[in-house]
Amino acid sequence: MANTPENPVDDRRAVRVEIDRVSKSYNNQRVLDDVSFTIEPGEIFVIMGPSGAGKSTLMRAIVNLEKVDEGEIRINGLDAFKQQTHKLMHTAIVFQAGGLFNSLTVEENLGFYPREHRLYDRKTINEKVAYTLRILNLEGCADKMPSQLSGGMRKRVAIARSLIIEPRLLLFDEPTSELDPVSAANITEVIGTLREEYDMTSIVVSHDRELAASIGERVALMGSGKVVMLDTPQKLAESEDPEVTAFLKPSINCNNPRFRQNLAC
Ligand SMILES: Nc1ncnc2c1ncn2[C@@H]1O[C@H](COP(=O)(O)OP(=O)(O)OP(=O)(O)O)[C@@H](O)[C@H]1O
Ligand SMILES: [Mg+2]
């Protein structure tokens, strides 16, 4: 295969994402401040950081849902601020809230986008929907409405829906938030498995340290629009940088009289 940006030399579907000196402000508040890093093909890359750090803004910029003030983002060398790039690179995003159509069944939710955009013929769509439901253990839910599902199942349906286009780059914004630990572990496992199934690059915004430690190959810790630290989960856990420990090992003030009775400080 030719060594073009669409078909990199190693013949992988998974893409490389380069974030190059990206800055963005909202009303004089610098939300992304000269952010640069590269995500390698096939990597599961986790972005962590406190609320308001700019994580979702960066995710929206990567998928061209947000304009930036400065900098570039490239996917396999192509401009991420052009919609055509996302078509070629099969980019998909799973939003925190899922964004399912409440009036459609699970099966109809999965088939909606490819049908609307006439991506495949009807038989192929049905096959892809059935295959994706099977991969995510959702076969029994095909005819259910989203309101009949648990939070964890709804997340799985949202992920399944994004898989229909066979993504080469899949972004997840807080995939395990609002889930109990068992469902969160299940979604974490799903994200890990999908990378093998689809040969794709995954970017996961999450506060979930279990997720970062178990499937994240590298983690970028963001704070106030900047990358505070970028390394393996283990290196982050070992870090003694106060900005890193403040996020990863927050301490409860044991001198607060309200807590004294319950905490063995
Ligand atoms: N459309 C917008 N208009 C104005 N300000 C915005 C807009 N979107 C985000 N912001 C601000 O930008 C900052 C970063 O927001 P962002 O959603 O990227 O944070 P985040 O790191 O994803 O936080 P969280 O963990 O709470 O989801 C916040 O201070 C937010 O108020
Ligand atoms: Mg966010």
Tell how far the Cα of 48 is from the centroid of ligand 2, in angstroms. Answer: 10
Q: Is 56 in the pocket of ligand 1 (CB under 6 A)?
A: yes
Which ligand has the nearest atom to the CA of 52?
1
- Cα separations in angstroms, 79 against 125, 199, 232: 29, 21, 27
**Which one is predicted more confidently, 117 or 103?**
103
CA distance 142 to 130: 9
State if residue 51 touches ligand 1 by the CB under 6 angstroms criterion: yes
- Tokens standing for residue 254: 């044991």
- Contact between residue 164 and residue 114 where contact means Cβ atoms under 8 Å apart: yes
Type and span of the H or E element at 187: helix 181-198
Residue 83's CB is within 10 A of a number of other CB atoms, namely: 11
Give the atom of ligand 1 at the shortest distance from the alpha carbon of 207.
25
| pTM of structure | 0.89
- Give nearest CA residue, ligand 1 atom 13: 52
What local confidence, expressed as pLDDT, does residue 182 receive?
87
Q: How large is the average pLDDT for residues 138-156? A: 91
**Both tokens assigned to 229:** 């630290």
Nearest CA to ligand 1 atom 31: 52
The CA distance from 158 to 98, in Å, is 5
Residue 99: per-residue pLDDT: 83
Ligand 1 pocket, residue 26 CB under 6 Å = yes
**Ligand number nearest to the C-alpha of 65:** 1
Q: Is 31 in the pocket of ligand 1 (CB under 6 A)?
A: yes
Cβ(206) – ligand 1 distance below 6 Å? no
Ligand 1 centroid from CA 192, angstroms: 27
CA distances, 5 to each of 12, 16, 37, 88 (Å): 11, 10, 19, 10
Can you tell me which atom of ligand 1 is nearest the CA of 174?
27
Measured at the alpha carbon of residue 212, what is the angle toward residues 54 and 214, in degrees to the nearest 5? 165
Which phi and psi angles does 226 have, rounded to 5°?
Answer: -120, 160
218-223 and 44-48 beta bridge pairing: parallel
In angstroms, what CA-CA distances link 104 with 100, 146, 147, 156, 181? 8, 8, 10, 16, 28
What domains are there in the chain, each with its CATH number?
1-90+169-232 (3.40.50.300), 102-165 (no CATH)
Q: Is pLDDT of 36 > 50?
A: yes
Going by C-alpha positions, the residue among 15, 62, 16 that lies closest to residue 35 is 62
> Model confidence at 10, in pLDDT bands (50, 70, 90)?
low
151-163 helix and 106-116 helix, angle to the nearest 10 degrees: 20
Outline where DSSP puts E strands in 52-195: 70-75, 78-79, 91-94, 169-173
Average pLDDT estimate for 242-254: 81
Q: What is the pLDDT of residue 9?
A: 45
The helix/strand/coil state of 210 is helix
Q: Is 57 in the pocket of ligand 1 (CB under 6 A)?
A: yes
Q: What is the rounded distance in angstroms from the CA atom of residue 89 to the CA atom of residue 109?
A: 22
